């Protein structure tokens, strides 16, 4: 059964940026878009680069290597209709000053 786990504190992810955290051997990119937090599999489905080190554009992130765009809300690959390249996203909850992610 899925459960929420604390991954970091709200202050660990500045507004307009992403950070990578490892939980249960899984690399998770956590992003802060104007105070709203999102969690996505950190590995780009195309070439495996870190999405947390990518560039933010609205509510999407561009992979730093080939600039593929992924929606942080849904994980959808935005450049073409190729669902096989969608990234996995995770539900996020804020409790106090902690960011929890559902696995």
| Domain 4-102 in this protein, CATH class | mainly beta
The torsion region of residue 95 among left (phi > 0), alpha (psi -120 to 50) and beta comes to beta
Per residue in 24-70, pLDDT (tens digit) is 899 999 999 999 999 999 999 999 999 999 999 999 999 999 999 99
Tokens of 59: 């509510």
The answer on pLDDT for 1 being more than 80 is no
Place of tokens 């190729």: 82
pLDDT of residue 2: 81
Enter the pTM of the model. 0.94
The answer on pLDDT for 4 being more than 80 is yes
What is the distance between the alpha carbons of residues 70 and 52, in angstroms, rounded to a whole number? 12
What is the distance between the alpha carbons of residues 70 and 51, in angstroms, rounded to a whole number? 9
């Amino acid at each position: 059964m899925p459960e929420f786990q604390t991954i970091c504190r709200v202050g660990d992810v500045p507004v307009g940026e992403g950070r990578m955290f490892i939980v249960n051997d899984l690399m998770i990119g956590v992003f802060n878009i104007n105070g709203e937090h999102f969690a996505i599999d950190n590995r780009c489905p195309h070439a495996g680069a870190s999405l947390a080190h990518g560039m933010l554009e609205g509510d999407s992130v561009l992979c730093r290597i080939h600039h593929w765009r992924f929606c942080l809300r849904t994980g959808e690959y935005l450049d073409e209709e190729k669902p096989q390249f969608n990234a996995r996203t995770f539900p996020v909850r804020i409790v106090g000053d902690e960011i929890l992610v559902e696995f």
